[in-house]
Structure 1
Amino acid sequence: MRYAALILPLLLLGSSVRAAVAPEIDPRASLGVVQQWIYGYRAKPDYAHVPAAVRVLFHSQTFKEPESAGIYLGFIAGAIGSNPAKAEQLVNSFFPVPPQDEWVIVRAIAYSGLPDWRNLLRQIEPNIPERRIMIESYLDGTLPTLAEIPLEDSRPGMLDKLRNAFTRNPFKKEEKKLDTKLTFASSQDLLDTLWGYYFATGSHVPIMRIVQMLPWSKSRDTLDKLTVGSMARYTLASYAVRDSSLREFLRDELPRQSEAVKGPLTEVIQAADRVELGAVRRDALAAVEELKAKGSDARRNLDLWGQVGVGAIALGCVSAAALGQVAVGIPCVIGGATSQGLLSFWEKQQ
């Protein structure tokens, strides 16, 4: 690896060393170096070295499993959005992009929050013609930007249910369609993406979005919501332990929040102040066990949920886990796997 004039102190293989993340970084550089660099980026932004870090992510096949790469996608999106004047230059520096990873650039631009993100997408389309359909889907609004993704699906009211009951043909066999609608309640990797955006920008906008998910940690409606809400609470507490500015922000926000948010947010702040993450984890595991035993509020059959692993409720190495043990002290990789179901993840921590 060639050393540039600017040297970044990074953690490598568990020991502190002086490592250079140069624009022409050796593509064989450790992913762990970039992970630690990302975690510390908001405290000391190093915009010039973002292209080098992104090339390491591509070379390491970080985006091979999209559902476990949300934190890196969020970081790239945040880096693009953090400097609108240089956004086009930054995006151009990513090319050439491995064909299998071209979707990352498209989605990062759409998620960046840039005022002119649509024009930037149009400009890169000639470079990645095979992603034309994806680009057009963002441009025409078929695919939502990060800010447009709702927390959860709106539930039909009583009148809507009655209208559907009277207008639906009971003898018509309805074709079951794949539900591709994105919501934070049903897509756990979006929590990762918000954390990645925060690491790149230090913005509190993604933090407030995560705070809005906290009432789900008390939810007994669906396992998806309980999963996302519990991980939102756990990761907020975990990062706040190490980030005093985040702790102060959460403490300042507490009086302004709704009653539904105040309870779990108070737990987050107390766990961070006292460094009692184990209590948060145990409470979440107990909630899952209760949901399994008693069923949801909608009385859905949960008998098989305890057997679900990677898949419907896969965490995709949610946020803290994506950075690994060395970076943030949270066990993530269990038995060599890069993602685990919520039950498996927590049970193995006991």
Structure 2
Amino acid sequence: MRAIALALIACTFVQSALAAAVGPEIDPGASLGVVQNWIYNYRTKPDYAHVPAAVRVLFHSQTFKEPENSGIYLGFIAGAISSNPAKAEQLVNSFFPVPPEEEWVIVRAIAYSGLPDWRNLMRKVAPKMPGRRVMIDGYLSGAQPTLMDIPLEEAKPGMMDKLRGTLTQNPFKKEERKLDTRISYATHQDLLDILWGYYFATGSRVPIQRIVQMLPWSKSRDTVDKLTIGSMARYTLASYSVRDASLRDYLRDELARQSGPVKEPLREVVEAADTVQLGAVRKDAVAAVEELKTRGSDARRNMDFWGQLGVGALALGCVSAAALGQVAVGIPCVIGGSASQGLLSFWEKQQ
């Protein structure tokens, strides 16, 4: 009887310690590291009950202050919402109150969740976020795409489209510069991080399939964006496959099914993961960047092209920087602009 009582006391202590580890009441700097490690291991040991506490830590730690560097966490929240449809509304309500300037996270996480009934959920929580009405309406109307509806890259105009534009435009009219708000995986590196976060929350192969589709860009010499994102896709797949046997097995099976431009970089990923030769993948990426730096893109071979891009345009997101060894633990993440590194400057420091 005494042994049972002691066991119950010990169990209660462990549960209390776990709750404190992801609770918002402890130091934000310390708790964030715990939550990062917890997120990375979540797919192998789901702990749905502690998701609200973990998310509150993320908000309390100002993780979403810079949207471009918070993709991993946004993806995790979206995946957590999708993982239990019956409790999705309860989970989302548990996140509130949310700072008004960060309500966009909840809106986007719902839209990116992939729930069959995500629109109805969005309408139910919309009254809690009146300041995000425009964003909410954008997703509900389809003007803003959901995560899996975002195209890999924007379709390029064909020869006839270009000719039509040439014949119909006034050659003397000054072209107005417009802000390009179109979104694609080829131009928004944070989407790669969001896919990884979604995977960590669900273990789903759907985001992995999307990442695999980006692998041919690791051989691209057309644009810096595509080379950057493709290289990050290849490196993160290899890096996490080293520590995730089920992912490694899946990619090996996928290799037998793939062909064309995907097959070669995927073979490199599988080989690097099997032999733990991540350095070779990074070295190849460095060489590709150096070549592009020296020669310019295939489309515009001149140094102005590289110079105009600037290091800031290549800022690494959370998982990407982590996978390259910026932080050594679990699911490492870079928070804030001061910690974020440009891809070129970071890789140069590795040499």
TM-score if structure 1 supplies the norm length? 0.90
CA distance in 2 between partners of 1:327 and 1:265 (Å): 25
1:142-291 alignment runs, 5 A limit: 142-291=143-292
Distance 1:298 1:137, change over 3 A: same
Q: Does 1:98 align with 2:86?
A: no
What are the Cα deviations for residues 31-67 of structure 1, in whole angstroms up to 9, with x where unaligned? 0000000000000000010000000000000000000
Aligned-pair identity in percent equals 73
> How many matched pairs?
339
Distance 1:128 1:198, change over 3 A: same
CA distance in 1 between partners of 2:71 and 2:244 (Å): 21
1:15-164 alignment runs, 5 A limit: 19-21=18-20, 25-29=24-28, 30-164=31-165
Asked whether the equivalents of residues 315 and 342 of structure 1 are also in contact (C-alpha less than 8 Å), the reply is yes
- Matched residue type, 1:325: V
Distance 1:333 1:344, change over 3 A: farther
CA distance in 1 between partners of 2:229 and 2:159 (Å): 27
| Higher relative contact order structure (alpha carbons within 8 Å, sequence separation ≥ 6) | 2
Distance 1:86 1:336, change over 3 A: closer
Distance 1:310 1:32, change over 3 A: farther
Matching residue within 325, 331, 345 for 2:327 = 325
Deviates further, 308-317 or 64-73: 308-317
Asked whether the equivalents of residues 111 and 146 of structure 1 are also in contact (C-alpha less than 8 Å), the reply is yes
CA distance in 2 between partners of 1:4 and 1:301 (Å): 65
Distance 1:170 1:53, change over 3 A: same
Distance 1:36 1:6, change over 3 A: farther
SS at match of 2:312: coil
Deviation at 1:337, TM superposition (A): 3.3
Aligned Cα root-mean-square deviation (Å): 2.5
Distance 1:22 1:51, change over 3 A: farther
SS at match of 1:224: helix
CA distance in 1 between partners of 2:117 and 2:268 (Å): 39
- Matched residue type, 1:148: D
SS at match of 1:135: helix
CA distance in 1 between partners of 2:35 and 2:11 (Å): 16
Deviation at 1:302, TM superposition (A): 3.8
CA distance in 2 between partners of 1:73 and 1:193 (Å): 6
What are the Cα deviations for residues 309-332 of structure 1, in whole angstroms up to 9, with x where unaligned? 5531111233462896242487x7
Asked whether the equivalents of residues 31 and 57 of structure 1 are also in contact (C-alpha less than 8 Å), the reply is yes
Find the structure with the greater CA-based Rg: 2
What are the Cα deviations for residues 198-226 of structure 1, in whole angstroms up to 9, with x where unaligned? 00000000000000000000000000000
SS at match of 1:348: helix
CA distance in 2 between partners of 1:242 and 1:307 (Å): 38
Deviation at 1:181, TM superposition (A): 0.5
SS at match of 1:208: helix
Distance 1:309 1:170, change over 3 A: closer
User: 1:342: which partner in 2?
Assistant: 343
Distance 1:4 1:147, change over 3 A: farther
Deviation at 1:294, TM superposition (A): 1.8
Distance 1:308 1:334, change over 3 A: farther
Deviation at 1:7, TM superposition (A): 4.1
Deviation at 1:333, TM superposition (A): 5.5
TM-score if structure 2 supplies the norm length? 0.90
CA distance in 1 between partners of 2:39 and 2:310 (Å): 28
Deviation at 1:117, TM superposition (A): 0.7
Distance 1:21 1:198, change over 3 A: farther
User: 1:15: which partner in 2?
Assistant: none
Unmatched tracts of structure 2, length 5 or more: 1-9
SS at match of 2:173: coil
Asked whether the equivalents of residues 78 and 197 of structure 1 are also in contact (C-alpha less than 8 Å), the reply is yes
CA distance in 2 between partners of 1:34 and 1:74 (Å): 14
CA distance in 2 between partners of 1:191 and 1:118 (Å): 24
